[in-house]
Protein backbone atom coordinates (compact mmCIF):
# COMPACT_ATOMS: atom_id res chain seq x y z
CA UNK A 1 0.00 0.00 0.00
CA UNK A 2 1.18 3.49 -0.73
CA UNK A 3 1.72 5.39 2.48
CA UNK A 4 2.29 8.71 0.85
CA UNK A 5 2.04 9.88 -2.70
CA UNK A 6 2.18 13.19 -4.50
CA UNK A 7 0.91 13.84 -7.96
CA UNK A 8 1.80 16.85 -10.14
CA UNK A 9 2.58 18.91 -7.11
CA UNK A 10 3.27 22.57 -7.76
CA UNK A 11 3.66 25.23 -5.12
CA UNK A 12 4.11 28.98 -5.14
CA UNK A 13 4.80 31.10 -2.06
CA UNK A 14 2.46 34.06 -1.73
CA UNK A 15 5.44 36.42 -1.78
CA UNK A 16 7.00 34.90 -4.90
CA UNK A 17 5.99 35.28 -8.51
CA UNK A 18 7.58 32.01 -9.67
CA UNK A 19 6.72 28.48 -8.57
CA UNK A 20 9.03 27.03 -5.93
CA UNK A 21 8.01 23.49 -6.80
CA UNK A 22 7.01 22.41 -10.28
CA UNK A 23 5.07 19.28 -11.20
CA UNK A 24 6.56 16.87 -8.72
CA UNK A 25 5.25 13.31 -8.51
CA UNK A 26 6.53 10.59 -6.24
CA UNK A 27 5.33 7.95 -3.82
CA UNK A 28 6.54 6.06 -0.79
CA UNK A 29 5.15 2.62 -0.24
CA UNK A 30 4.98 0.37 2.81
CA UNK A 31 8.03 0.95 4.92
CA UNK A 32 10.06 2.54 2.17
CA UNK A 33 12.84 5.07 2.64
CA UNK A 34 12.86 7.99 0.24
CA UNK A 35 15.98 10.10 -0.01
CA UNK A 36 15.54 13.65 -1.31
CA UNK A 37 18.65 15.31 -2.67
CA UNK A 38 19.26 18.71 -4.21
CA UNK A 39 21.30 21.79 -3.47
CA UNK A 40 20.26 24.55 -1.09
CA UNK A 41 17.28 26.46 -2.44
CA UNK A 42 16.12 23.64 -4.71
CA UNK A 43 12.85 23.35 -2.78
CA UNK A 44 13.62 20.34 -0.58
CA UNK A 45 12.46 21.93 2.66
CA UNK A 46 9.33 23.35 1.05
CA UNK A 47 8.44 19.91 -0.30
CA UNK A 48 8.99 18.19 3.03
CA UNK A 49 6.96 20.77 4.94
CA UNK A 50 4.08 20.38 2.49
CA UNK A 51 3.88 16.72 3.48
CA UNK A 52 3.14 17.72 7.08
CA UNK A 53 -0.12 19.63 7.08
CA UNK A 54 0.37 21.41 10.41
CA UNK A 55 3.46 23.23 9.21
CA UNK A 56 2.90 23.45 5.48
CA UNK A 57 4.01 26.83 4.12
CA UNK A 58 1.43 29.40 3.08
CA UNK A 59 0.95 29.71 -0.65
CA UNK A 60 -0.79 28.34 -3.70
CA UNK A 61 -0.77 24.56 -3.96
CA UNK A 62 -1.68 22.56 -7.08
CA UNK A 63 -1.81 18.81 -7.45
CA UNK A 64 -2.60 16.23 -4.83
CA UNK A 65 -0.99 14.81 -1.70
CA UNK A 66 -2.34 11.46 -0.45
CA UNK A 67 -1.48 10.15 2.98
CA UNK A 68 -2.49 6.63 4.08
CA UNK A 69 -4.88 6.36 1.16
CA UNK A 70 -6.74 9.60 1.90
CA UNK A 71 -6.29 13.09 0.54
CA UNK A 72 -4.21 15.13 2.99
CA UNK A 73 -7.06 17.54 3.63
CA UNK A 74 -9.44 14.74 4.59
CA UNK A 75 -7.38 13.55 7.53
CA UNK A 76 -8.69 14.58 10.93
CA UNK A 77 -6.38 16.93 12.86
CA UNK A 78 -5.51 14.18 15.33
CA UNK A 79 -4.81 11.66 12.58
CA UNK A 80 -2.65 14.12 10.72
CA UNK A 81 -0.64 15.04 13.82
CA UNK A 82 -0.06 11.41 14.77
CA UNK A 83 0.50 9.80 11.38
CA UNK A 84 3.26 12.07 10.15
CA UNK A 85 6.22 13.21 12.27
CA UNK A 86 8.69 15.90 11.33
CA UNK A 87 12.26 16.60 12.45
CA UNK A 88 14.23 19.54 11.12
CA UNK A 89 17.86 20.48 10.84
CA UNK A 90 18.77 22.50 13.89
CA UNK A 91 18.39 20.62 17.17
CA UNK A 92 18.65 23.86 19.15
CA UNK A 93 15.53 25.38 17.69
CA UNK A 94 13.29 22.33 17.90
CA UNK A 95 13.33 21.66 21.58
CA UNK A 96 10.49 23.35 23.39
CA UNK A 97 10.89 22.53 27.07
CA UNK A 98 13.84 22.47 29.47
CA UNK A 99 14.28 18.76 30.08
CA UNK A 100 14.50 15.66 27.95
CA UNK A 101 11.74 13.97 29.96
CA UNK A 102 9.28 16.80 29.40
CA UNK A 103 10.32 17.10 25.75
CA UNK A 104 9.52 13.44 25.18
CA UNK A 105 6.09 13.71 26.77
CA UNK A 106 5.29 17.02 25.04
CA UNK A 107 3.53 15.51 22.00
CA UNK A 108 1.50 13.08 24.12
CA UNK A 109 0.44 15.88 26.47
CA UNK A 110 -0.69 17.87 23.45
CA UNK A 111 -3.13 15.21 22.33
CA UNK A 112 -4.54 14.85 25.79
CA UNK A 113 -3.15 11.44 26.73
CA UNK A 114 -3.68 10.36 30.33
CA UNK A 115 -0.65 11.06 32.55
CA UNK A 116 -0.16 7.41 33.50
CA UNK A 117 -0.18 6.38 29.84
CA UNK A 118 2.26 9.11 28.91
CA UNK A 119 4.80 7.80 31.37
CA UNK A 120 4.55 4.24 30.18
CA UNK A 121 4.81 5.26 26.52
CA UNK A 122 7.76 7.55 27.12
CA UNK A 123 9.51 5.04 29.34
CA UNK A 124 9.03 2.27 26.84
CA UNK A 125 10.45 4.37 24.07
CA UNK A 126 13.41 5.69 26.04
CA UNK A 127 14.31 2.10 26.88
CA UNK A 128 13.89 0.90 23.31
CA UNK A 129 16.15 3.60 21.88
CA UNK A 130 18.60 3.42 24.77
CA UNK A 131 18.40 7.04 25.84
CA UNK A 132 17.79 6.44 29.56
CA UNK A 133 21.11 8.07 30.35
CA UNK A 134 19.94 11.44 29.05
CA UNK A 135 16.31 11.04 30.11
CA UNK A 136 16.40 13.24 33.19
CA UNK A 137 19.01 15.70 31.98
CA UNK A 138 18.33 19.34 31.15
CA UNK A 139 18.40 19.79 27.38
CA UNK A 140 20.98 22.54 27.78
CA UNK A 141 23.55 19.97 28.92
CA UNK A 142 23.21 17.66 25.92
CA UNK A 143 25.61 17.51 22.99
CA UNK A 144 24.31 18.35 19.52
CA UNK A 145 23.93 14.68 18.65
CA UNK A 146 22.05 13.88 21.85
CA UNK A 147 19.76 16.87 21.25
CA UNK A 148 18.94 15.66 17.76
CA UNK A 149 18.31 12.15 19.09
CA UNK A 150 16.00 13.67 21.71
CA UNK A 151 14.13 15.57 18.94
CA UNK A 152 13.80 12.39 16.90
CA UNK A 153 12.41 10.45 19.86
CA UNK A 154 10.11 13.33 20.79
CA UNK A 155 8.67 13.19 17.27
CA UNK A 156 8.52 9.40 17.18
CA UNK A 157 6.67 9.10 20.47
CA UNK A 158 3.31 9.37 18.70
CA UNK A 159 4.33 6.21 16.76
CA UNK A 160 3.96 7.88 13.36
CA UNK A 161 3.60 5.88 10.17
CA UNK A 162 5.66 8.34 8.18
CA UNK A 163 8.73 10.15 9.47
CA UNK A 164 9.96 13.24 7.64
CA UNK A 165 13.46 14.51 8.32
CA UNK A 166 14.97 17.68 6.88
CA UNK A 167 18.77 17.32 6.94
CA UNK A 168 18.82 15.89 10.45
CA UNK A 169 22.57 15.27 10.45
CA UNK A 170 23.72 18.55 8.92
CA UNK A 171 24.96 19.91 12.25
CA UNK A 172 26.36 16.65 13.62
CA UNK A 173 29.77 15.04 13.61
CA UNK A 174 30.18 11.65 11.90
CA UNK A 175 29.91 9.65 15.13
CA UNK A 176 26.72 11.36 16.33
CA UNK A 177 25.15 11.18 12.89
CA UNK A 178 26.00 7.48 12.81
CA UNK A 179 24.06 7.03 16.06
CA UNK A 180 21.14 9.00 14.71
CA UNK A 181 21.01 6.93 11.55
CA UNK A 182 21.18 3.68 13.48
CA UNK A 183 18.05 4.75 15.37
CA UNK A 184 16.40 5.65 12.06
CA UNK A 185 17.36 2.27 10.69
CA UNK A 186 15.66 0.57 13.65
CA UNK A 187 12.54 2.71 13.28
CA UNK A 188 12.41 1.63 9.67
CA UNK A 189 13.35 -2.03 9.85
CA UNK A 190 11.86 -3.00 13.22
CA UNK A 191 8.77 -0.81 13.30
CA UNK A 192 8.14 -0.40 9.59
CA UNK A 193 8.02 3.39 9.70
CA UNK A 194 8.27 4.95 6.25
CA UNK A 195 10.98 7.60 6.09
CA UNK A 196 11.37 10.63 3.86
CA UNK A 197 14.73 12.24 4.42
CA UNK A 198 16.59 15.14 2.82
CA UNK A 199 20.37 15.08 3.18
CA UNK A 200 23.31 17.02 1.75
CA UNK A 201 25.67 14.20 2.40
CA UNK A 202 23.64 11.06 1.74
CA UNK A 203 26.51 8.58 2.09
CA UNK A 204 25.26 7.34 5.48
CA UNK A 205 21.68 6.91 4.38
CA UNK A 206 22.39 5.64 0.88
CA UNK A 207 22.56 1.95 1.68
CA UNK A 208 19.23 1.97 3.50
CA UNK A 209 17.17 4.02 1.06
CA UNK A 210 14.84 2.42 -1.46
CA UNK A 211 14.13 5.30 -3.78
CA UNK A 212 15.64 8.68 -4.51
CA UNK A 213 14.12 11.96 -5.57
CA UNK A 214 16.50 14.56 -6.95
CA UNK A 215 15.34 18.17 -7.10
CA UNK A 216 16.86 20.97 -9.07
CA UNK A 217 15.35 24.43 -9.04
CA UNK A 218 11.97 23.04 -7.94
CA UNK A 219 11.78 20.38 -10.61
CA UNK A 220 12.16 16.66 -10.06
CA UNK A 221 15.15 15.74 -12.21
CA UNK A 222 15.09 12.16 -11.05
CA UNK A 223 12.75 9.83 -9.21
CA UNK A 224 13.33 6.12 -9.09
CA UNK A 225 15.05 3.28 -7.34
CA UNK A 226 18.55 3.53 -5.91
CA UNK A 227 19.99 1.31 -8.63
CA UNK A 228 18.48 3.35 -11.44
CA UNK A 229 19.83 6.49 -9.72
CA UNK A 230 23.34 5.08 -9.96
CA UNK A 231 22.80 4.34 -13.65
CA UNK A 232 21.47 7.83 -14.27
CA UNK A 233 24.39 9.34 -12.35
CA UNK A 234 26.94 7.89 -14.76
CA UNK A 235 26.14 10.57 -17.32
CA UNK A 236 25.00 13.32 -15.00
CA UNK A 237 27.73 15.17 -13.10
CA UNK A 238 25.21 16.75 -10.67
CA UNK A 239 23.67 13.42 -9.62
CA UNK A 240 27.16 11.92 -9.56
CA UNK A 241 28.06 14.34 -6.77
CA UNK A 242 25.50 12.70 -4.46
CA UNK A 243 26.89 9.19 -4.79
CA UNK A 244 28.73 7.88 -1.74
CA UNK A 245 32.42 7.02 -2.01
CA UNK A 246 31.99 3.20 -2.34
CA UNK A 247 29.53 3.60 -5.21
CA UNK A 248 31.71 6.11 -7.02
CA UNK A 249 34.73 3.85 -6.72
CA UNK A 250 32.82 0.81 -7.95
CA UNK A 251 31.32 2.76 -10.86
CA UNK A 252 34.83 3.09 -12.29
CA UNK A 253 34.77 -0.69 -12.55
CA UNK A 254 31.19 -0.61 -13.93
CA UNK A 255 29.79 -2.28 -10.83
CA UNK A 256 27.17 -1.08 -8.36
CA UNK A 257 27.88 -1.39 -4.65
CA UNK A 258 26.75 0.75 -1.71
CA UNK A 259 28.87 -0.18 1.28
CA UNK A 260 32.53 0.21 2.18
CA UNK A 261 32.72 -3.52 2.79
CA UNK A 262 31.49 -4.43 -0.70
CA UNK A 263 33.67 -1.83 -2.41
CA UNK A 264 36.73 -3.01 -0.50
CA UNK A 265 36.14 -6.62 -1.55
CA UNK A 266 35.59 -5.53 -5.15
CA UNK A 267 38.85 -3.58 -5.22
CA UNK A 268 40.81 -6.38 -3.59
CA UNK A 269 39.41 -8.90 -6.08
CA UNK A 270 40.19 -6.67 -9.02
CA UNK A 271 43.61 -5.32 -8.16
CA UNK A 272 44.96 -7.71 -5.53
CA UNK A 273 46.08 -6.81 -2.02
CA UNK A 274 49.31 -4.95 -1.50
CA UNK A 275 51.47 -4.90 1.60
CA UNK A 276 52.79 -1.45 0.78
CA UNK A 277 52.54 1.13 3.54
CA UNK A 278 51.30 4.60 2.72
CA UNK A 279 54.21 6.76 1.63
CA UNK A 280 55.59 9.30 4.05
CA UNK A 281 56.22 12.76 2.74
CA UNK A 282 59.67 14.07 3.61
CA UNK A 283 58.59 16.92 5.81
CA UNK A 284 60.96 19.85 5.63
CA UNK A 285 61.46 21.67 8.90
CA UNK A 286 59.68 24.99 8.56
CA UNK A 287 60.47 28.20 10.31
CA UNK A 288 57.71 30.55 9.21
CA UNK A 289 55.34 29.85 12.09
CA UNK A 290 52.41 32.25 12.04
CA UNK A 291 50.70 30.94 15.15
CA UNK A 292 52.14 28.94 17.97
CA UNK A 293 50.66 27.53 21.15
CA UNK A 294 52.95 26.09 23.81
CA UNK A 295 51.66 23.91 26.65
CA UNK A 296 48.34 25.71 26.90
CA UNK A 297 45.80 24.78 29.58
CA UNK A 298 42.27 26.07 29.87
CA UNK A 299 39.35 25.40 32.19
CA UNK A 300 36.12 27.30 32.78
CA UNK A 301 36.74 27.84 36.46
CA UNK A 302 39.19 26.85 39.09
CA UNK A 303 37.37 23.76 40.28
CA UNK A 304 36.38 22.34 36.89
CA UNK A 305 38.45 20.06 34.69
CA UNK A 306 40.85 21.13 31.97
CA UNK A 307 39.15 21.39 28.61
CA UNK A 308 42.40 22.17 26.87
CA UNK A 309 45.32 20.40 28.42
CA UNK A 310 48.94 20.64 27.35
CA UNK A 311 48.12 21.87 23.86
CA UNK A 312 51.12 22.35 21.56
CA UNK A 313 50.38 23.52 18.05
CA UNK A 314 52.11 25.41 15.28
CA UNK A 315 50.37 26.74 12.19
CA UNK A 316 52.60 28.01 9.39
CA UNK A 317 52.03 30.80 6.92
CA UNK A 318 50.59 29.68 3.60
CA UNK A 319 48.96 26.49 4.83
CA UNK A 320 45.49 25.27 5.67
CA UNK A 321 45.59 23.39 8.95
CA UNK A 322 42.56 21.34 10.03
CA UNK A 323 41.93 20.22 13.58
CA UNK A 324 39.49 17.33 13.28
CA UNK A 325 37.58 15.77 16.16
CA UNK A 326 34.09 15.17 17.42
CA UNK A 327 31.62 17.85 18.49
CA UNK A 328 32.04 19.08 22.03
CA UNK A 329 35.63 17.90 22.29
CA UNK A 330 36.88 21.47 22.83
CA UNK A 331 37.88 22.50 19.32
CA UNK A 332 35.89 25.71 19.55
CA UNK A 333 37.56 26.58 22.85
CA UNK A 334 40.95 25.93 21.26
CA UNK A 335 40.21 28.32 18.39
CA UNK A 336 39.03 30.98 20.82
CA UNK A 337 42.29 30.66 22.74
CA UNK A 338 44.40 30.78 19.58
CA UNK A 339 42.46 33.85 18.50
CA UNK A 340 43.02 35.60 21.82
CA UNK A 341 39.31 35.74 22.64
CA UNK A 342 39.71 33.82 25.86
CA UNK A 343 42.86 33.49 27.93
CA UNK A 344 44.34 30.18 29.03
CA UNK A 345 45.26 29.87 32.69
CA UNK A 346 48.64 28.51 31.76
CA UNK A 347 50.77 28.44 28.63
CA UNK A 348 51.68 30.84 25.88
CA UNK A 349 50.14 31.69 22.52
CA UNK A 350 52.38 33.47 20.02
CA UNK A 351 50.97 35.28 17.01
CA UNK A 352 53.44 36.45 14.35
CA UNK A 353 56.28 36.03 16.84
CA UNK A 354 54.62 38.11 19.60
CA UNK A 355 52.82 36.93 22.69
CA UNK A 356 49.07 37.41 22.33
CA UNK A 357 48.97 39.23 25.64
CA UNK A 358 51.28 41.97 24.33
CA UNK A 359 48.72 43.10 21.74
CA UNK A 360 46.89 46.02 23.28
CA UNK A 361 43.26 46.94 22.64
CA UNK A 362 42.18 45.52 19.33
CA UNK A 363 45.62 45.59 17.68
CA UNK A 364 45.45 41.80 17.41
CA UNK A 365 42.39 42.00 15.18
CA UNK A 366 43.52 44.68 12.77
CA UNK A 367 45.57 42.97 10.12
CA UNK A 368 46.68 40.07 12.27
CA UNK A 369 44.10 37.54 13.40
CA UNK A 370 40.47 37.01 12.42
CA UNK A 371 38.14 34.47 13.99
CA UNK A 372 35.04 33.06 12.32
CA UNK A 373 32.60 31.75 14.93
CA UNK A 374 30.78 28.47 14.52
CA UNK A 375 27.57 30.29 13.72
CA UNK A 376 28.66 32.89 11.15
CA UNK A 377 25.42 34.82 11.75
CA UNK A 378 26.99 35.86 15.06
CA UNK A 379 29.27 38.27 13.22
CA UNK A 380 26.30 40.28 11.99
CA UNK A 381 24.60 42.56 14.44
CA UNK A 382 23.53 45.30 12.01
CA UNK A 383 20.36 45.32 9.95
CA UNK A 384 21.97 44.73 6.56
CA UNK A 385 25.10 43.00 5.35
CA UNK A 386 26.31 46.24 3.75
CA UNK A 387 26.11 48.16 7.03
CA UNK A 388 28.04 45.44 8.81
CA UNK A 389 30.78 45.36 6.20
CA UNK A 390 31.02 49.17 6.23
CA UNK A 391 31.96 49.02 9.91
CA UNK A 392 35.14 47.09 9.19
CA UNK A 393 35.79 48.84 5.88
CA UNK A 394 39.00 50.84 6.07
CA UNK A 395 40.23 50.31 2.53
CA UNK A 396 37.80 50.95 -0.32
CA UNK A 397 39.99 49.22 -2.90
CA UNK A 398 40.00 46.03 -0.86
CA UNK A 399 36.25 46.29 -0.29
CA UNK A 400 35.56 46.55 -4.02
CA UNK A 401 37.92 43.71 -4.84
CA UNK A 402 36.31 41.43 -2.26
CA UNK A 403 32.82 42.32 -3.46
CA UNK A 404 33.65 41.32 -7.00
CA UNK A 405 35.70 38.24 -6.03
CA UNK A 406 32.99 36.84 -3.79
CA UNK A 407 30.17 38.34 -5.88
CA UNK A 408 28.60 40.01 -2.86
CA UNK A 409 26.80 42.73 -4.85
CA UNK A 410 23.25 41.38 -4.59
CA UNK A 411 23.67 40.39 -0.93
CA UNK A 412 24.67 43.79 0.47
CA UNK A 413 21.15 45.11 1.00
CA UNK A 414 19.79 41.94 2.58
CA UNK A 415 19.23 41.21 6.25
CA UNK A 416 21.81 38.64 7.40
CA UNK A 417 19.07 36.20 8.47
CA UNK A 418 17.64 36.19 4.95
CA UNK A 419 20.84 34.67 3.57
CA UNK A 420 21.40 30.96 3.01
CA UNK A 421 24.12 29.07 4.87
CA UNK A 422 26.59 29.35 2.01
CA UNK A 423 25.87 33.04 1.45
CA UNK A 424 26.29 34.06 5.07
CA UNK A 425 29.54 32.09 5.18
CA UNK A 426 30.79 34.17 2.23
CA UNK A 427 29.69 37.47 3.78
CA UNK A 428 31.29 36.57 7.10
CA UNK A 429 34.52 35.71 5.36
CA UNK A 430 34.38 39.04 3.52
CA UNK A 431 33.92 40.87 6.81
CA UNK A 432 36.96 39.14 8.25
CA UNK A 433 39.07 39.67 5.12
CA UNK A 434 38.39 43.41 5.23
CA UNK A 435 40.86 43.58 8.12
CA UNK A 436 43.40 41.81 5.89
CA UNK A 437 44.36 39.21 8.50
CA UNK A 438 47.52 37.11 8.27
CA UNK A 439 45.92 34.36 10.29
CA UNK A 440 42.36 33.11 9.80
CA UNK A 441 40.72 30.86 12.35
CA UNK A 442 37.48 29.24 11.23
CA UNK A 443 35.19 27.16 13.39
CA UNK A 444 33.28 24.42 11.50
CA UNK A 445 33.19 26.40 8.25
CA UNK A 446 31.61 23.57 6.24
CA UNK A 447 28.79 22.85 8.70
CA UNK A 448 25.37 22.69 7.06
CA UNK A 449 26.65 23.52 3.56
CA UNK A 450 25.64 21.58 0.46
CA UNK A 451 28.42 19.93 -1.62
CA UNK A 452 28.57 22.81 -4.11
CA UNK A 453 28.88 25.46 -1.39
CA UNK A 454 31.51 23.34 0.34
CA UNK A 455 33.58 23.18 -2.82
CA UNK A 456 33.36 26.96 -3.24
CA UNK A 457 34.44 27.47 0.37
CA UNK A 458 37.28 24.96 0.05
CA UNK A 459 38.67 26.68 -3.03
CA UNK A 460 38.40 30.02 -1.24
CA UNK A 461 40.42 28.70 1.70
CA UNK A 462 43.08 27.28 -0.64
CA UNK A 463 43.33 30.66 -2.35
CA UNK A 464 43.73 32.48 0.96
CA UNK A 465 46.54 30.10 1.89
CA UNK A 466 48.24 30.60 -1.45
CA UNK A 467 48.26 34.34 -0.71
CA UNK A 468 50.52 33.51 2.22
CA UNK A 469 47.92 33.57 5.02
CA UNK A 470 47.77 30.89 7.67
CA UNK A 471 44.34 29.27 7.74
CA UNK A 472 43.38 27.11 10.70
CA UNK A 473 40.02 25.36 10.73
CA UNK A 474 38.33 23.22 13.34
CA UNK A 475 36.02 20.71 11.73
CA UNK A 476 34.30 17.39 12.15
CA UNK A 477 33.98 17.07 8.38
CA UNK A 478 36.73 14.57 7.58
CA UNK A 479 36.10 14.56 3.85
CA UNK A 480 36.38 18.36 3.71
CA UNK A 481 39.63 18.31 5.69
CA UNK A 482 41.09 15.57 3.47
CA UNK A 483 40.21 17.50 0.34
CA UNK A 484 41.36 20.99 1.24
CA UNK A 485 43.78 20.96 4.20
CA UNK A 486 47.57 20.76 3.92
CA UNK A 487 48.01 19.37 7.40
CA UNK A 488 45.59 17.77 9.81
CA UNK A 489 45.67 16.94 13.49
CA UNK A 490 43.30 14.95 15.66
CA UNK A 491 41.92 16.95 18.56
CA UNK A 492 41.28 14.55 21.39
CA UNK A 493 41.36 14.76 25.17
CA UNK A 494 42.23 18.44 25.24
CA UNK A 495 45.06 18.60 22.76
CA UNK A 496 46.15 17.97 19.18
CA UNK A 497 47.61 14.55 18.61
CA UNK A 498 49.67 13.56 15.61
CA UNK A 499 49.57 16.59 13.34
CA UNK A 500 50.72 15.46 9.89
CA UNK A 501 50.27 16.30 6.20
CA UNK A 502 46.66 15.38 5.37
CA UNK A 503 47.44 12.53 2.99
CA UNK A 504 49.66 10.91 5.55
CA UNK A 505 47.30 11.68 8.43
CA UNK A 506 44.30 10.00 6.84
CA UNK A 507 46.15 7.11 5.24
CA UNK A 508 47.68 6.18 8.61
CA UNK A 509 44.45 6.67 10.60
CA UNK A 510 42.54 3.41 10.75
CA UNK A 511 39.14 4.45 12.11
CA UNK A 512 38.85 8.20 11.95
CA UNK A 513 39.47 8.57 8.26
CA UNK A 514 37.68 9.14 4.98
CA UNK A 515 35.49 6.48 3.40
CA UNK A 516 37.78 6.43 0.35
CA UNK A 517 40.78 5.67 2.53
CA UNK A 518 38.95 2.87 4.30
CA UNK A 519 38.02 1.33 0.94
CA UNK A 520 41.41 1.73 -0.66
CA UNK A 521 43.64 0.96 2.33
CA UNK A 522 44.68 -2.54 1.27
CA UNK A 523 44.96 -1.80 -2.43
CA UNK A 524 45.96 1.82 -2.95
CA UNK A 525 47.33 2.89 0.46
CA UNK A 526 47.93 6.48 -0.64
CA UNK A 527 44.41 7.28 -1.89
CA UNK A 528 42.58 9.42 0.64
CA UNK A 529 39.92 11.33 -1.27
CA UNK A 530 37.37 9.88 -3.67
CA UNK A 531 38.89 11.65 -6.66
CA UNK A 532 42.33 10.23 -5.81
CA UNK A 533 40.80 6.79 -5.52
CA UNK A 534 39.05 7.17 -8.87
CA UNK A 535 42.36 8.17 -10.46
CA UNK A 536 44.09 5.14 -8.93
CA UNK A 537 41.38 2.82 -10.22
CA UNK A 538 41.59 4.25 -13.74
CA UNK A 539 45.37 3.93 -13.78
CA UNK A 540 45.67 0.76 -11.67
CA UNK A 541 46.95 -2.52 -12.99
CA UNK A 542 44.28 -5.21 -12.88
CA UNK A 543 45.01 -8.69 -11.74
Partner 1 sequence: MCYLKTFDPTVPMMYFACVMSICVFTSNPYLQACSLAGGIMLLIFVKGRRSVRLLIGCALIMAVMGATNPLFVHRGLTELFFVGDSPYTLEALLYGLSLGCSIASLLIWFSVFNAVISQDDILAVFGKRLPKTALVISMILGFIPKLRRKYTELLHAQYGSGVSRKPSLKRTAAVFTACLSAQSERVIDISMSMKARGYGLKSRTFAHRRRFRKKDAAAIAVPLALCIACFVYIGSGKLDYWYYPRLSPGGFEPAAVMCYLLLCILPVFFIVKEKFLWRNCPAKT
Nearer to partner 1, 315 or 488 (CB): 315
Pairwise CA distance, residues 22 & 218, whole Å: 6
State the first-to-last Cα distance of the chain, in angstroms, to the nearest integer.
47
Confirm if 162 and 84 have CB atoms less than 8 A apart. Answer: yes
CB of 24 to partner 1, least distance (A): 21
Nearer to partner 1, 112 or 409 (CB): 112
What one-character DSSP code corresponds to residue 192? -
Nearer to partner 1, 95 or 177 (CB): 95
Pairwise CA distance, residues 257 & 199, whole Å: 20
CB of 417 to partner 1, least distance (A): 5
CB of 362 to partner 1, least distance (A): 4
3-state DSSP call for residue 147? helix
Pairwise CA distance, residues 404 & 470, whole Å: 23
Nearer to partner 1, 82 or 221 (CB): 82
The gap from C-alpha 79 to its chain's centroid, in whole angstroms, comes to: 33
CB of 537 to partner 1, least distance (A): 43
CB of 72 to partner 1, least distance (A): 14
Nearer to partner 1, 232 or 341 (CB): 341
Nearer to partner 1, 248 or 431 (CB): 431
DSSP states of 239-287 as a string?
HHTTS-HHHHHHHTTT----SHHHHHHHHHHHH----PPPPPP-PPP--
Q: Which H or E run includes 13?
A: strand 2-13
Nearer to partner 1, 171 or 529 (CB): 171
CB of 354 to partner 1, least distance (A): 17
Largest CA distance in the chain: 71
Residue 354 dihedral angles phi and psi, to the nearest 5°: -120, 140
CB of 288 to partner 1, least distance (A): 24
Cβ-in-10-Å burial (0-12, 13-18, 19+) of 510 comes to exposed
Binding site for partner 1 (CB under 8 A): 52, 54-55, 77-78, 81-82, 85-86, 88, 90, 92-99, 101-102, 105-115, 118-119, 122, 138-140, 151, 154-155, 158, 336, 339, 341-342, 361-362, 364-366, 369-375, 377-381, 392, 417, 431-432, 435
Amino acid sequence: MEKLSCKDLSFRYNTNSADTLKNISFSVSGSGVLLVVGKTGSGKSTLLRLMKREISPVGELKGSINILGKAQSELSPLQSACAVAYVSQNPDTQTVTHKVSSELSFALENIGTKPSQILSRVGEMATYFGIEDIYSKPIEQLSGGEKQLCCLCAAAVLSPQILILDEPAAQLDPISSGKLFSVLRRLNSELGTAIIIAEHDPSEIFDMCDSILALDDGKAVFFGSRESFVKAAVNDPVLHGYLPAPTRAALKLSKTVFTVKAAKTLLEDTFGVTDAQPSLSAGKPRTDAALKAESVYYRYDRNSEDIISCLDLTVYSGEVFAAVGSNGSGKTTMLKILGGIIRPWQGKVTVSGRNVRSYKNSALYSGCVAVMPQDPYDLFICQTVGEELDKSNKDNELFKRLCSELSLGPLLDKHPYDLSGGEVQKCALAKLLLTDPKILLLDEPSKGLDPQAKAVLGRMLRKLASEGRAVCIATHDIEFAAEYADRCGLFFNGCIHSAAPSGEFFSYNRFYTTAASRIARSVFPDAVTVSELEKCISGGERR
